[in-house]
Amino acid sequence: MSYQYHIPVLLHQSVDGLDIKPNGVYVDLTFGGGGHSREILNRLESGKLIVFDQDADAFENRIDDSRLVFVRHNFKYLQNFLAYLNIDKVDGILGDLGVSSHHFDSAERGFSFRFDGLLDMRMNQKTSKTAAIILNSYSQPDLVTVFRHYGELQNASRLAFEIVKIRETIPFENTAQLRELATRFAPKRDQSKFLAQVFQALRIEVNGEMDVLKSLLSQTTQVIKPGGRLVVISYHSLEDRLVKNFIKTGDCFKTEADKDLFGQSKVPFNSIYRKVIVPDEDEINSNPRARSGKLRIAERNDW
């Protein structure tokens, strides 16, 4: 069931990156179909695995294993729940930041432009903000910001203008409406990519993904043991840039680490590999959605 739900990307490379100790404590921030979690459990003996996922569908995939604790909440609450579980430090954290294949393939969730469905896009369906609410209530400048920053669209202003104009008479309710409008602004030779960027921008805003990621990264310095590992798989440049900067400088927004009077920098993590790890051709051929995956692995410094 889990592999039908979602095929884990860079499975062995990412779990290898955790450098698992059989009796260690590990966290899988995005349980999904449980693919990465199962591989971690295969390498544990008496250790423990804490998994996070706020989605009700993912909860249905939970694994019956006494070594696993399922936290049905957003991983931005990492420190809070580790404290609740009386866990001070962990040996490694794995985060696969991608949207699961299950979500993209579920028309009723509204994540994909390929299907007709309500403009929802919520990972946690207990929250109130949907893509439709954003399209129908955000000001034109705010819509420009969403599409420009999170979709990296050069014609964000024109798209936002048309959204505000159309919603005066017909509110946005379903993916077909948005797809029809966005297609008018898409380059003919790369229409699918443009539509994916439009839907990505809304999904990120609905779920506050960038703020959640920044919060998570800042918490890792407090909860990962010296010598422990941080392993992150990202799928678009916005996420990867934050992760790359954080590993390099200890700050999501800085590209160079601060130095002391002696020209020495003190950063919380050291990158294990100089270059980002990406799927090979075999993996992409068997799972095309792995194509954009980028894996970064870092080790917590001993200070």
Looking at the structure of the chain, the number of domains it has is 2
Q: What's the confidence (pLDDT) of residue 2?
A: 46
- At which of 161, 191, 207 does a domain end? 207
Residues 6+ apart with CB under 8 A from 180: none
> Are residues 95 and 8 both part of a single domain?
yes
What's the pTM?
A: 0.91
DSSP 47-88: -EEEEE---HHHHTT----TTEEEE-S-GGGHHHHHHHTT--
Residue that the structure tokens 């792995």 belong to: 290
Q: Are strands 90-96 and 25-28 parallel, antiparallel or unpaired?
A: parallel
- At which of 207, 241, 271 does a domain end? 207
- At which of 184, 207, 230 does a domain end? 207
The pLDDT tens digits of the residues spanning 265-286 come to: 789 999 999 899 999 999 999 9
> Are residues 164 and 127 both part of a single domain?
yes
> Are residues 258 and 224 both part of a single domain?
yes
> Are residues 129 and 195 both part of a single domain?
yes
Q: What's the confidence (pLDDT) of residue 105?
A: 55
Q: What's the confidence (pLDDT) of residue 107?
A: 62
Q: What's the confidence (pLDDT) of residue 108?
A: 67
> Are residues 130 and 266 both part of a single domain?
no
User: Which residues constitute the domain of residue 120?
Assistant: 107-207
- CATH code: domain of residue 199: 1.10.150.170
- CATH code: domain of residue 77: 3.40.50.150
Q: Which residues of the chain have pLDDT under 70?
A: 1-6, 100-108, 260-264
Pick from 176, 6, 27: nearest CA to 93: 27
**Residues in the chain, how many?**
303
Q: What's the confidence (pLDDT) of residue 112?
A: 84
Q: State how far the Cα of 12 lies from the Cα of 208, in Å rounded to an integer.
A: 29
The pLDDT tens digits of the residues spanning 109-160 come to: 777 888 889 999 998 888 899 999 999 999 999 999 999 999 999 999 999 9
Q: State how far the Cα of 243 lies from the Cα of 295, in Å rounded to an integer.
A: 10
> Are residues 241 and 265 both part of a single domain?
yes
